[in-house]
A and B are shown apart, each in its own frame.
Chain A
């Protein structure tokens, strides 16, 4: 099996995700970028699991998917909360706390 292609795809997704988190200032787009990183992790885990012929990787990936769903639930709730109070989800304009 060709492991490299999967790892390359995963590395590209990871890089796009990291770039998105660092460069974007829109709450929802940042959430989507984080999802890209998590999916890169899942590709890695499943590919390694198939390569090693152990189920550990697939099981780990299932855990990641389940926990990521909970995370995004909380994240969207917070973005919604912010929108309700400020009518904007542009993080560049949120600067009440000195950073």
Chain B
């Protein structure tokens, strides 16, 4: 068949510029930072961090106008969707990245490392996350996943002369690429079943095929396993403690919050839009992941002596809580919507409290020169404000009212208990036992900071910069506000996905 190319008039597809404005602004600022770095070299160092922070705030402007507009936008034949869910998640990603920029300012350059490209990479990674929130197509999900992962590999290995940072980077890279390759294999099978890369088409093909087809089961197992790695769920969590310990701490905070949230977004969209009818396959799978993550994460966290490793295993346990509502999301009715809202609520609150805890760790570890639990002892004697803040964040992570984490856990338990499935009750019971175990190690760390003696008797005050103080302030206010007035966060996170008929 020959086609006369000259007679084919090029039809530009309709592009909704307002809908993709946040991505365009991020792209522009990322490119600007890279250019400024190339042109002004070392002279640009004082302004790149500020540029990155301003860029992230500027990206929030089109996000607000889109939210004010309020209509769901479906673009590129359904591959890219701007709905309530994606707007809320984009806002979470941008705020988390803004706090990470505040934490990174001057920190990543310590030890004579180059700082400018770091912000370019950070913005590229955030752009991947922002795209992930809107992607409703296998190709765009894959591209968004790689766009957010590849810069993250480089950021983990940022201290290139530090062998621990190298090791963390290579471990994260190999595990990450392996997981995404396995996930891609699952995606290729899904494409084979449906003949389309669009999630909505895949959803109807899976529904038509019935769920007992082995190839569908295989595809779902591969895809869920790939994203279980990204969110560090047991048994795919083994990279997390090593990478968290070896990476620069602001990067650790970024991975623990933003990267994990992006993995959850993709998992939610794939499960609830791509194969909602195959619930008999993914519900038990996610049930096991949730129960194992909570239990193993907490058990191993109990005997950690390094605060960053403790936070890594606590993050694994929190993943178990976050993923739990999905285990009862497949029996129709409003169950998918409820689970979605619970996970989004948890992600938003978790971002604030976990970033806050990491901010305190960064400040204290800078003074004591180590992140061992023992070196944090007696912090109250020289940094009372930081100790109070850390206590708030730790108790919020443990789920004590009236802090944000309480409402997040409450939502999870409410979804599990109202699902009316026996396995939902069992998972809620597992979660309740684990909340008590988690309280033990969070409280033990807090007690050490309040009551113990300072190990080396050094009572000099900690170095505090305005950017660290504002990061702590943002996280603290959000954690407290969401706990005292949960209707605030509930208003934002009562979201639906377009394909769910929202």
Contacts and interface: CB of A to CB of B under 8 A. Distances in A.
B242 A97 contact: yes
A60 B139 contact: yes
Nearest to B186: A41
Given A41-B184, A60-B139, A67-B146, A52 B242 contact: no
B185 A71 contact: no
Contacts of B168: 97
B173 interface: yes
Given A37-B182, A56-B197, A96 B163 contact: yes
Given A56-B191, A56-B196, A86-B163, A41 B185 contact: yes
Interface in B178-197: 178, 181-182, 184-185, 187-189, 191-192, 195-197
Interface string A82-97: 1001100001001011
B150 A74 contact: yes
B154 interface: yes
B192 A48 contact: yes
Interface residues of A, number: 42
B142 A34 contact: no
B245 to A, nearest CB: 6
A74 B154 CA distance: 7
A71 B171 CA distance: 14
B356 interface: no
Nearest to B168: A97
Contacts of B216: none
Nearest to A46: B188
Interface string B188-230: 1101100111000000000000000000000000000000000
A64 B192 contact: no
Contacts of A54: 195-196
A78 B146 contact: no
A78 B153 contact: yes
B170 interface: yes
A82 B170 contact: yes
A30 B174 contact: yes
B163 A17 contact: no
B167 A94 contact: yes
Contacts of B164: 96-97
Interface in A1-60: 14, 17-18, 21, 27, 30, 34, 37-38, 40-41, 44-45, 47-49, 51-52, 54, 56-57, 59-60
Contacts of A67: 142-143, 146
Contacts of B174: 21, 27, 30, 34, 75, 91
Given A40-B185, A99-B238, A63 B246 contact: no
Contact of A34 (B178, B192, B238): B178
Contacts of B181: 17, 34, 37-38, 41
B166 interface: yes
B177 interface: yes
Interface in B121-175: 138-139, 142-143, 146, 150, 153-154, 157, 160-161, 163-164, 166-171, 173-174
Given A37-B181, A48-B188, A60-B138, A78 B196 contact: no
B167 A14 contact: no
A82 B166 contact: yes
A78 B195 CA distance: 37
Given A27-B170, A78-B153, A21 B139 contact: no
Nearest to B239: A99
B177 A75 contact: yes
Interface of B: 138-139, 142-143, 146, 150, 153-154, 157, 160-161, 163-164, 166-171, 173-174, 177-178, 181-182, 184-185, 187-189, 191-192, 195-197, 238, 241-242, 245-246
Nearest 5 interchain pairs by C-beta? A52-B195, A44-B188, A48-B192, A37-B181, A97-B242
Given A78-B170, A79-B170, A97-B171, 20 more contacts: A17-B181, A18-B182, A21-B178, A27-B174, A34-B178, A37-B178, A37-B184, A52-B192, A56-B191, A56-B195, A60-B139, A63-B139, A70-B146, A74-B150, A74-B154, A81-B157, A81-B169, A96-B163, A97-B246, A99-B241
20 contacts: A14-B185, A21-B178, A27-B174, A37-B184, A38-B184, A48-B191, A49-B191, A56-B139, A56-B191, A57-B191, A63-B139, A63-B143, A67-B142, A70-B150, A74-B154, A78-B166, A81-B169, A85-B163, A96-B167, A99-B238
